[in-house]
Each structure stands twice: as C-alpha cells, then as structure tokens.
Amino acid sequence: MSGSALLSLDRLAVTLPGGVPVIHDATLHVEPGEIVGIAGESGSGKSLTAAALLNLLPAGSRVTGGATFAGEDLLGLDRAGWRRIRGAGISMVFQDPTAALHPMLPIGRQLTEHMRRHLGLSRSDARARAVELLDQVRIPDPQRTLRSYPHQFSGGMRQRVAIAIALACRPKLLIADEPTTALDVTVQAGILALLSRLRDETGLSVLFITHDLGVLSALTSRTYVFYAGRVMETGPTGALLSTPRHPYTAALLGARPHGAAGVGSLRPIPGSPVVPGQAPPGCPFAPRCDFATADCTSAPPEPAPIGTDRLSACPVAPELEVTP
Amino acid sequence: MSEPTMTEPPTAVDLADRRVRKPLARRSWLRRLRGTSAGHPLWRQPLTVVSVTILVAWLLIAALAPLIAPYDPLAQHAATYLPPSGAHPFGTDELGRDILSRLVYGARLSIPLALVIVALALAVGGVLGLVAGYLGRFVDEALMRLTDLVFAFPQIILAMAVSAAFGPSTRNAVLALVIVSWPVYARVIRSAVLTVRGEDYLHAARLLGVGPIRALRRDVVPNSVGPAVVLATLELGNAVLMLAALSFLGLGPRPPAPEWGAMIALGSHDLSKWWVSVFPGLAILTVVLAFNILGDALRDRIDPRYAKGRET
Amino acid sequence: MTAPLLDIDELAVEYRSRARGAVRAVAGVSLSVAAGEIVGLVGESGCGKSSLARAAVGLTAPHAGTVRFDGRPVTPVRWAKRPAAEVGLQMVFQNPYASLNPRRRIGDQIADGLPAGLPREQVRGRVAELLDRVGMGADTAAKYPHQFSGGQRQRLAIARALAGEPSMIIADEPVTALDASSQAQVVNLLVRLVRELGMGMLFISHDLALVRQIADRTAVMYLGKVVEVAPTARLWSAPSHPYTRALIDAVPTIAARPELPAVLAGEVPDPANAPSGCRFRPRCPAAFESCVDEPALLPIGDRASVACWLTTNGATA
C-alpha cells in the first residue's frame, strides 16, 4: 500500500500442518510509529497472524504470499535472519506475562542477558539500560526490581516487566497479543497509557491484538477486523467503530455491553464462530449474517475499497445501514 | 550466540525453539514405535500390540500348561544339568527336571500371584487413599504417616522382613508384598481425590443436594481412579519381579514349586550351567517388560495432557 | 418491602496461609438481594468477590457474620446432605470446563438436582424440559461435556442449576471464560431466566460495562469491603466513592474523540496487610485527614450507600 510501511503483509496465507487453512489472503500494513489494532474472536486467526510474523508457527506450516518488514522479506529468512528480526526488529508480549518470564531467575538477569548477547553491551551498560527500561515502563524502584523474582509482582507489574524485556533490544515493532485481557481495568488503563507513551517517545509501532473494541477505540489509529482467518473490514478505528461497513463488525459492536443502564440485554451474534478448516465455501460469516444473500455463499468476497481509506469484504457494504 | 538459553530474547525465541526442539520422549522413531499414543487407537501402536500379544501368550501358556509342557514339572526325567537339546529344549536342572515344563507351569504361579498382589494392594490402598483424601484432617494425617512409615524402608528389604517374620510360604509372600505396596496406591488416589475435592463439578453436585456418599461414588471415584489403574498395570511387572526376588531368597513358594525366581536361584550357584537361570530370567523379563509397556500406553491414554488433543 | 431473599450480614471470610498468616479476603460485607432483583457485584481480582460468593452459597464456612436465604441461615456444605430448603440457592461457576463432571452424561448431572425416587420417564422429561429452557436439544442429555463448546457448557451448567428449582442464583463471573459472541448469549439467557422465573441473582463480574447493562443495583468491592452500593443507573451517572469513579473511568469506551482511559495510581495492597483507616486511602486522589479512620457504609438516599468520608461528612463529592 505505502512504500514506507514498516510492516506489510500482502495476501498472506497460512496453512497449519495437516492442511488446515487458518489465514487467507491477509493484507495488512503498519507504519512507523503507528498503533494498529487487530480485532476478532478466538479462532479468527488474529494470534496466528502474529505467530507467522515471528516464525512461531508449528513446524510444517505452509506460509504463502508476501511479508516484508523494514524492507526485508520475512518469508525468505533463515534461522540467523529470524534471530536478528526477533528482539531487535519485532518483539512480542503475550496475554499471560508469566509465560514470558522465567520463574527462577531474577528480573535483572532476564533483562540484561540478552541485551548483552544481542547488543553486545558490557555488564554495567546492560544494567544501566535495564534500569532505564524498568523506569520507562514505570516500575517503581528499578534497582531493587533487578534483584526480584517474577512471583513477587502483581499481574500488571509482571506485564510491565514483560514489556520492558520485549523492548530491551529496541525493536521497531511490538506485537501485543491480548496483553491486557487477563488484567483488571485499572491495570489495563496503565498498560494502554504506557504503550501510547512509548509510541510518542520512541516512535515504536505496535500491532495490538484484542477482542475488546473499547480498547481498540482508545488506543489504535487503524483496525483490522478478522473473522475465520480473513480480513473482514479495515479502516481508521474511529470511523470503523462508529459507522461499521461490515455486518460482522456491526454484530461485534452489538454484542458488547454498550448502552445505558437497565437496558437488560445484549444483542448476541447468532450461531457460533467458524471452526478453522470448516469454513463454508462463501463468506465465512454468511451463516450468521442478517444481510446474507445467495451470492454470499458461492465465493468469499474480496475486500473492496469504501471511500479513500477503508476496505470491506462485503458486497452489501456500501448500502449497509447498521446501527452499532 | 550459540544455543539459545531460557533467558534468551523477547520470549519469542524461547517459544519458537520450544516448538522446534522435540522433547526426547516425543522423538519420531520412538513415537512411530509407540504410535502417537493420544491420537491412535491402541492397536496402531506396535510396541503395545507386541506387549499385549506377549501377555496373552503367557496367559494361554498358563491356562494350557498341561497340554503344552512336554514333561511333569516336578518329576525327574533325565540326568541333571543337561544342556538344551532336542528332548529338553531349555535343558534340565540340578534334579534332572525339564526346565521348559517348569517354566510353563511357573506361569501358573507368577502371573496369577502378581495379579492377586496388585489387586489386593490396589483395593487396600485405594480405599484408604479415598478415605484419607475425602475425609481429610485427622484421618488423612494418620494414614499418610502410616504410608511414610512403609516408605521409610526399601521395599524389598521390608518385604523380606515381613515374609521372614510370617514364615516362608506363598500366602505370606503375597501378604508381605501387599503390605509393602499398598501405600503407593493410597498416595496416588489420595492426591487425585484432593484435586477432585476442589473441583466445581463436585461443588455443584453438593449444592444440588447430592449427599457425600453419592458424590463420592459418582464424582470423586470415577475421576480419581485413572492414575491408580495405570500405576497398577505398571506395578504388575514389579510384583512379578518382587515375588521372584522373594522366591530367589527362599521366602516365596516352597520348593519344589516351579516359581521363576526360585528357579533362577537354583542356577545361580554355577553360572556355567547358564540355561538353568537364563530361561526363567527371560520369562520374567518378557512379562515385566510387557506389563510396563502396556502401563505406559494406558498412562498416555488417561493422562489429560495427552487426552486434550483428542477432544478438540 | 418484604425481607430480602438473600441477606448477607457482616460476612467475613479468612484464609490461613503459611506464608502470610490469616488473610481476610472478605472483611465484613453486608449485601442483600430481593426476589426478582439482579444485583451486580464488581471489583478487581483479589477484592474478595469470589470468596464472598462461595461463602454466601455455603461452599466455605464464614469466619464471622451470617448469610440468610429465604429467612433461614445458610449452613456450610460439609458431611451432611444439603437441607432441601437451601437447594433453592444455586451457583453458576466461572469455568464451564471445570464445573461439569467430564465422566458423566449431561442428563445424569442435571438429574442430580431432581427429587430422588422420581420415575425414570419423568426424570427424562424434566431433563429435556430444562435443556430446552437453555436452548439445548433433548439429545444433549446422552452426551458428555467434552462434546460441547464453552458457551454451550455454560448453558448446560445453568440447566443443572435450574434443576434445583432455585429462587436465587449466585453467578460468579459466569461469562469471563467465554468468547464475545457466547458471552452475550449466556448473559441474555441468565437474565431472561431470572426475569421469567422471578428469581433473584447476585451477578459477580470484573466487567463493569456488562454489569451496568444487566444489574438493577450494583455493589463495588475493594479489598474485602463493599465501598458503594447503589441503583446501577445512579452508580454510573453519579458515583459517590472515588474508587467507583476510578473504576468507571478506567473502562475504555468507544467514542468519537477517543481518549485513553484514566489511570488509577498505585496497586491493590495485599489483603494480609490492608491499610489502616479507609482501605482505599493510599491510592485515593481525594484522601484527607478523616480517612485515617475507617468510614462505615452509610445510606445516602434511595437504596444507595457509600463508605467514604467525603460523602458522609457532608463534604462535596
């Protein structure tokens, strides 16, 4: 799309070992210093897209299409190339910070060890940078934290430490896979503020994966809505959430608690999400869609532009009048 | 820059490598031999099939011993210490008895006795473990200290001591082995029960007015016996071995009973008469190995970590 | 108003932990739910809301205080069978993967709640009826839990709770483990059942927006205490306690001019060493001298109460 994009995926498709197709023709880009959201339910392929970007897919997966990061073709990388990209290029934080932290090693060692390896810093330089990082993610008393162990921290603090570790080698892109889903709202607010500040101060790009549309609204500038491994709709987050141009986006908005008190009910999406590998031949959302026509069941619709900066993979999108 | 360690970069590397490196137990050749345990039915796992075949064969041999054995296992037919020959494929022992015939009849002792030992130990340990886990508190504490007491001695030494105290006989050897082996089952069942006791499905049933005994029967027992049954299968091999050991030391079935362990003992004085010990040794080896492999396969089936893949 | 259906009075729950000594998870909570009413209980993890739920339903013995259901005290479930009069107080658990016995058929588990000695035909009919109520087919009865998705399992768990013909349901984070689309389905089902059957429900959740949507009244818990309770609309439009306000402000919303949710300073303290005085004091943007004494939960008008010196002192909130 844009020549200057930090990350760009061009019709990326992923098939898991066993021939289960999980991502179809995903086209996506992230600009330097931009926070981009990916929305979707479980099984939508949003986390697998992230896994593909770090070569974390199960062995035997097949990836086709294009993926470039900072001008480099990701799909052609060898082991050494991936090692360079991970850490200094793209890094990741997960929903469960405990999975990213070694329980038996002090935080300081986990932070400094790979800085010394990757950036070639001396022990004292690495230590200084570790303190700086912990301070940057607003951990009180960084000096003491270096000697502490993960279990001594609350979930929110652990996620901050995980972010500090992810930032250690100065990545250009941070992939955050539901990093606040397991956290309380007040703690989540802190993490969102942190990511936003890091973007402002260091020009970090963030690909933020979540199912919480409120979080997307607050944090991201553009959003991709995934369903059954396809991009259903994309555009500036504000416009996308206020005037959805895909029935699935509208349905997601309707299913979330939104209105005034005492309304008493939500509008659930009928049916259940597609099981990977069992998608219907046409639009994967057609069986659950109020607007589906006979055309929708023949072939999956291509994302088509709406206006200048939006795409929707729904043929009825232009006439779609949906109230979120 | 060589091998990535656990603390290496942004968690991603770590995760990636975990996926690339296969744990030893999941190496492909081993996997192919065992079948993928979780996904494949038992009959698609070659090792399991072989072990089941061996066990079935031994059971048939035991059942049909009079038809299979060429000679009377207790009678002297030939010269002593005849090496293997056409007339005596496994040779003869110090009293000129046919070793093949004794092995065949020995299956009637070792395998059923192992089953009895394990069944009794499982029953005793299972009930005590259930009681300890379900009642908790004082009962639990008392029973667990009792198991500690048994665990404090090496199993075989304790079994020797007990069976020596009772006097050497088949029944006393079995009793001794039950006494030394029940605590394992009690422990395993107890910890399984403790887990179930915290489960919400048990709470939900109790909230609906299900009484403690009915809940024990329907919710607790079915969800806690799995590991103990697996353990029991693994322990069958151990029981054969321990019984043989007691017999070897003269504490098991009395001579002239053709017990495999006692037969090995007879040959152990003079290793140049290798056939006297080697053939009963092989018999024990095949049975023990077969039980162990079967137990492993069962564990893979029942262990929820492997079972998960099946459900989705 | 008649006596509330569920009446929790000065309930305290303590755990003993080897490392931290006695931990007071619930430190004196009073809360009531009337028939036909949905009361939401919100709070962050570790505030004691689940401990409160378990003690209220009788799964753990309270350290102090009482819980009355339909006028009679709830007895903790121990070695005796639960008294029939208390079976009308049921619970829906958070994790539908753990709240159904994996080795029993769905129908048998639902039948646990039916009167003993019912003829088989009637049991089958009643189970089918309950399954139908939660939108599942009668053939479900013969299946096992692993054959169902999380959302479906939660429906089955609800059907099982209904077998006890409850007049009161305590739902402890019933949709937290579910996907967005199943969340809405299960919440709607619960609310519909509560309304149709005239039950009362204590709905516990960390999701404020969700509670706002369905609860008639909402209670906010912080560190083992209820700090504010009010009709839901009033609580949202005019929160009296600074913690309630902080919680509401932290919920990210979809807005035309998006802004980051407000950040509350500090961390939830360890309940084993709760601060003296008002427990929220160390994090409270409005704390002042009075806060060194613990404020009581005092009524402030129409079914609302708050435990904050700002309000109860007469100062402006």
Confidence tier at C176 by pLDDT (50, 70, 90): confident
Long-range contacts for B269-273 (Cβ within 8 Å, ≥24 apart)? B273/B81, B273/B83, B273/B91
Q: How far is CA A309 from CA A68, A192, A237, A239, A240, in A?
A: 21, 25, 11, 10, 10
Cis peptide before C258 (omega within 30 of 0): no
Q: How far is CA A9 from CA A27, A71, A202, A302, B311, in A?
A: 5, 12, 24, 16, 34
Question: Which of B7, B26, B28 best probes binding to A when mutated, by most A CB atoms within 10 angstroms?
Answer: B7
Going by the DSSP 8-state scheme, the letter that residue C226 receives in this structure is E
- Put simply, the answer to whether B11 touches A58 (Cβ < 8 Å) is no
**pLDDT string in tens for chain B (312-residue length):** 333 333 333 333 333 333 333 344 444 555 555 554 444 566 667 888 888 999 999 999 989 988 888 888 888 877 888 888 888 888 888 888 998 999 999 888 888 898 999 999 999 999 999 999 888 888 888 899 999 888 888 888 898 899 889 888 888 989 999 999 999 999 999 999 999 998 999 999 999 999 999 999 999 988 888 888 888 888 888 888 888 888 888 888 877 888 888 888 888 778 888 888 899 899 989 998 998 888 888 777 765 444 433 332
Chains that touch C (3 or more CB pairs under 8 A): A, B
Instruction: Output the average pLDDT for chain C.
Output: 89
Q: For residue A107, what is the nearest residue in chain B, using CA coordinates?
A: B7
Going by the DSSP 8-state scheme, the letter that residue B83 receives in this structure is P
* Interface A-C: count of C-beta contacts within 8 A: 138
Determine contact, residues B126/B132, Cβ cutoff 8 Å. Answer: no
Confidence tier at A322 by pLDDT (50, 70, 90): low
Q: What is the pTM of this model?
A: 0.82
Structure tokens at C240: 């009296």
Look at residue B42 in the predicted model and tell me its pLDDT.
63
B217 interface with C at CB cutoff 8 Å: no
Question: Which of B200, B216, B218, B303 best probes binding to C when mutated, by most C CB atoms within 10 angstroms?
Answer: B200
Whether the per-residue pLDDT at C93 is higher than 90: the answer is: yes
Look at residue B26 in the predicted model and tell me its pLDDT.
45
User: Would you tell me which residues 245-304 of chain C have a C-beta closer than 8 angstroms to some C-beta of chain A?
Assistant: 246-247, 249-264, 267-268
Whether the per-residue pLDDT at A200 is higher than 90: the answer is: yes
- Find the CB nearest C104 among B203, B206, B218: B218
Which residues on B lie below 8 Å from C95 (Cβ)?
Answer: 200
C176 interface with A at CB cutoff 8 Å: no
- Find the CB nearest A110 among B7, B13, B19: B7
Among residues B229, B137, B147, the alpha carbon closest in space to that of B186 is found at B147
Q: How far is CA B186 from CA B217, B299, C297, in A?
A: 17, 18, 51
B21 interface with A at CB cutoff 8 Å: no
Structure tokens at B134: 């379900």
Which residue is listed with tokens 């427990």? Answer: C279
Structure tokens at C187: 């919440």
Among residues B78, B59, B76, the alpha carbon closest in space to that of B68 is found at B59
What do you get for the CA distance between the two ends of chain C, in Å? 30
Residue C102 to chain A, least CA–CA distance (Å):
22
Query: Hey, is B78 helix, strand or coil?
Result: coil
Chains that touch B (3 or more CB pairs under 8 A): A, C
ipTM of the complex: 0.90
B210 interface with C at CB cutoff 8 Å: yes
Determine contact, residues C102/C144, Cβ cutoff 8 Å. Answer: yes
- Put simply, the answer to whether C184 touches A266 (Cβ < 8 Å) is yes
Query: Hey, is C88 helix, strand or coil?
Result: coil
Q: Which residues of B195-220 are buried (b: 16+ CB within 10 A; e: fewer)?
A: ebbebbbbbbbbbbbbebeebbebbb
Question: Which of B208, B220, B310 best probes binding to C when mutated, by most C CB atoms within 10 angstroms?
Answer: B208
Q: What is the mean pLDDT of the segment spanning A188-209?
A: 91
Whether the per-residue pLDDT at A210 is higher than 60: the answer is: yes
Cα C277 from Cα C308, distance rounded (Å) = 11
Cα C190 from Cα C187, distance rounded (Å) = 5
Whether the per-residue pLDDT at C29 is higher than 70: the answer is: yes
Cα B215 from Cα C282, distance rounded (Å) = 47
Chains that touch A (3 or more CB pairs under 8 A): B, C
Please report, to the nearest 10 degrees, the dihedral formed by the alpha carbons of residues A310, A311, A315, A318 taken in order: 0
The 10s digit of each residue's pLDDT in A104-157 is 888 888 888 878 877 788 888 889 889 988 888 888 888 888 888 888 888 888
- Put simply, the answer to whether A212 touches C182 (Cβ < 8 Å) is no
Among residues C28, C13, C49, the alpha carbon closest in space to that of C218 is found at C49
Residue B224 to chain A, least CA–CA distance (Å):
29
Domains along chain B? 110-311 (1.10.3720.10)
What are phi and psi for residue B175, nearest 5 degrees?
A: -55, -45
* Interface A-B: count of C-beta contacts within 8 A: 62
Q: Which residues contact C86 (CB under 8 A, 6 or more apart)?
A: C58, C69, C72, C74, C75
Determine contact, residues C310/C293, Cβ cutoff 8 Å. Answer: no
What are phi and psi for residue C73, nearest 5 degrees?
A: -65, 140
- Find the CB nearest C91 among B199, B207, B311: B207
- Find the CB nearest B209 among C59, C99, C164: C164
Q: For residue C87, what is the nearest residue in chain B, using CA coordinates?
A: B208
Question: Which of C154, C210, C251 best probes binding to A when mutated, by most A CB atoms within 10 angstroms?
Answer: C251
The 10s digit of each residue's pLDDT in A261-303 is 445 567 888 887 888 778 888 899 988 888 888 888 888 888 8
Query: Hey, is C29 helix, strand or coil?
Result: strand
Q: For residue B20, what is the nearest residue in chain A, using CA coordinates?
A: A59
Going by the DSSP 8-state scheme, the letter that residue B244 receives in this structure is H
Cα C103 from Cα C50, distance rounded (Å) = 26
Which residues on A lie below 8 Å from C251 (Cβ)?
Answer: 185, 214
Which residues on A lie below 8 Å from C151 (Cβ)?
Answer: 272
Query: Hey, is C262 helix, strand or coil?
Result: coil
Cα A249 from Cα A269, distance rounded (Å) = 11
- Put simply, the answer to whether C254 touches A42 (Cβ < 8 Å) is no
Residue A308 to chain B, least CA–CA distance (Å):
36
Q: Which residues of chain A approach chain B closer than 8 Å at the C-beta?
A: 54-56, 58-59, 82-83, 86-87, 90-94, 99-100, 102, 105, 109-110, 113-114, 117-118, 162, 165-166, 168-169, 171
Residue B304 to chain C, least CA–CA distance (Å):
11
Q: What is the mean pLDDT of the segment spanning A39-47?
A: 82
Which residues on C lie below 8 Å from A155 (Cβ)?
Answer: 45
The sign one gets for the Cα dihedral A85, A89, A94, A99 is: positive
Determine contact, residues A30/A12, Cβ cutoff 8 Å. Answer: no
Angle among Cα A117, A122, A128 to the nearest 5 degrees reads 105
Q: For residue A140, what is the nearest residue in chain C, using CA coordinates?
A: C266
Among residues C310, C154, C175, the alpha carbon closest in space to that of C243 is found at C310
Residue B194 to chain C, least CA–CA distance (Å):
15
The sign one gets for the Cα dihedral B172, B175, B177, B180 is: negative
Confidence tier at C107 by pLDDT (50, 70, 90): very high
- Residue A77's CB is within 10 A of a number of other CB atoms, namely 16
Look at residue B118 in the predicted model and tell me its pLDDT.
92
